[in-house]
Structure 1
């Protein structure tokens, strides 16, 4: 629009009724999806305006490309935008990102999300794990008070791999060995009574004391009360780490002992397994992404496509719990 037409538009705005002015204001607030996505992406540099190549903070605007503002670092001379150095760098079709992220919030499969957002299924798969690469890091720093911890196990999966280090099995197959073995991957879940949740993929087979020390000790408060099942490994870990520990012997039919139980973490296990079932097997190498995705859905930390997009570029919502 040229200057003359714009001035005429301003004159006409003065003749609008109150209802018409409200409609104009509503239309101005409803930005196109591409502009809305670009504004969300720009919040990353608004939070940390530094060069992703050298870390310098003296930047110059350097035109625009692909709908994003470009910058030039005066120290190293290299150019970049707000997505440089993030998992979303070089991804295309930004106007479809928010629709796709809504599909993720609805827990749709790769093909369902591809059909809804209008992209190829290979693009859908690539976007899923690009969006989750940093979003899965939105997790609490510490667990407080009474904290429940328990393990659950998933059959190891090389889904999508070109080469297998074992004999192939049909989808929905079972382990060849009875009980816990190296064919199963251990997922350790720790959850305090405020709902804060942490998950760890400890490796194949039963969890060890060394793995518990590496995963739990850095995130548990000194005065925490750890509750677990009767696994002796948990007892030995708590004794070595000087952590107050209570156990509930589930195998003997004891589910509650006073105020102590592991029903919260076991309920989380149940929701996790039910949710994973829709994907018909999850590749073990992508398991941390799915755990972070499930944690975000369960805690409602990233309830909208906009907040999930911000998390995908490292801009996490503030937490009220330290």
Structure 2
């Protein structure tokens, strides 16, 4: 039986205090020695050839310590990081995990780049790679119970483009704002429940119709749920189409009760305070924390807000969930479509 020295005992105790994700990274580094790329980072292997989508491939040597494969069907080669967020990334997984920690701390891109030792362009690309994959997680969210729904609006922004069809937009890329609700406003219908689950997506410009809201919420709310909204008549149509019980909160009132229980002794009182709080945090994230974002990336930041600000769970658990998800989630269609996905 091997004798456990004091130093080894200390290491074991420290190892047991690490979260599961950091344990895996530590074990990879121990096996790899000085070169963490010497060990395969994806134990499940490659599911298929990214070029022809066939599963008939063989090993084809290594490059920079990473396994390469040769497809027997199309004759093209690919690596073990193909069709993952890490494709063509020269950084190890420990750098990616550190970036996720910075990202969940809502640090600006410049700080993320400094903390992880990468350039600003890489920090921007990594953020949208991760957010693009995170949309697949949010697509599986199903709201149930008491669901509050409402829409919020953002200014139409072409941030990063100083000109659009000959029109000078300035550094912030925002058109001259017209008063009131117009097509210069981007509508984002959202819905939340009391368990910390939320959905939201850009639907249209200006005032939304029933079909616009249905395009976001249809199939995302479970049957027999209670839909609580403001007095906008659009949501009555949405509730009828989806077969939900609808409770509108009249304008000027903070809460409402079902028609059968409208009495001072009503046991169930419903309000829209949770969705209002959700919108407030979303606006602070987009307009204050990141000083506005381009409309084409707005969906990515709604997903960012859903996971970082609104979802329940502590910081370490969120880091582990996100890191494990991007490890296992395949990327289809290339990284360019992933980054530009809206």
Q: CA deviation at 1:42?
A: 0.6
CA separation of 1:41 and 1:164: change in aligned 2, threshold 3 A? farther
Name the SS for the 2:67 alignment partner.
Answer: strand
Q: Give distance in 2, aligned partners of 1:180 and 1:103.
A: 36
Q: CA deviation at 1:305?
A: 4.4
Matches within 5 A, 1:200-279: 200-249=201-250, 251-257=251-257, 258-276=268-286, 277-279=288-290
Name the SS for the 1:119 alignment partner.
Answer: coil
CA separation of 1:17 and 1:93: change in aligned 2, threshold 3 A? closer
**Alpha-carbon contact 2:158-2:172 (below 8 Å) kept:** no
Matches within 5 A, 1:166-181: 166-168=167-169, 171=172, 176-181=177-182
Q: State the match for 2:158 in structure 1.
A: 158
**Alpha-carbon contact 2:141-2:220 (below 8 Å) kept:** yes
Matches within 5 A, 1:24-39: 30-31=26-27, 32=29
1:75-106 Cα deviation digits (max 9, x unpaired): 44433223212343212333532222221011
Task: Pick the aligned partner of 2:324 from 280, 303, 310.
Answer: 310
CA separation of 1:278 and 1:52: change in aligned 2, threshold 3 A? same
**Alpha-carbon contact 1:142-1:220 (below 8 Å) kept:** yes
Name the SS for the 2:201 alignment partner.
Answer: strand
Aligned-residue CA RMSD in angstroms? 3.2
Q: CA deviation at 1:263?
A: 1.4
**Alpha-carbon contact 2:228-2:272 (below 8 Å) kept:** yes
- 2:117 is aligned with 1:130: no
Provide TM-score, normalisation by structure 1: 0.80
**Alpha-carbon contact 2:144-2:221 (below 8 Å) kept:** yes
Q: State the match for 2:303 in structure 1.
A: 292
Name the SS for the 2:219 alignment partner.
Answer: helix
Matches within 5 A, 1:182-193: 182-193=183-194
Structure 1 gap segments, 5+ residues each: 1-12, 317-322
1:293-317 Cα deviation digits (max 9, x unpaired): 121213157845454333335539x
Q: State the match for 2:91 in structure 1.
A: 93
Matches within 5 A, 1:12-91: 17-23=4-10, 30-31=26-27, 32=29, 41-43=41-43, 45-46=44-45, 49-91=47-89
Q: State the match for 1:320 in structure 2.
A: none
Q: CA deviation at 1:209?
A: 0.7
**Alpha-carbon contact 2:50-2:83 (below 8 Å) kept:** yes
CA separation of 1:304 and 1:220: change in aligned 2, threshold 3 A? closer
Q: CA deviation at 1:173?
A: 7.2
Q: State the match for 1:198 in structure 2.
A: 199
1:48-85 Cα deviation digits (max 9, x unpaired): 73333333334433322234322333444433223212
**Alpha-carbon contact 1:61-1:72 (below 8 Å) kept:** yes
Between the two structures, name the one with larger relative contact order (CA 8 Å, sep ≥ 6): 1
Name the SS for the 1:188 alignment partner.
Answer: strand
**Alpha-carbon contact 1:132-1:312 (below 8 Å) kept:** no
Q: Give distance in 1, aligned partners of 2:37 and 2:229.
A: 44
Q: Give distance in 2, aligned partners of 1:126 and 1:18.
A: 45
Structure 1 residues 76-85 or 155-164, which shifts more? Answer: 76-85
Q: Between Structure 1 and Structure 2, how many residues are aligned?
A: 300
Task: Pick the aligned partner of 2:293 from 272, 278, 282.
Answer: 282
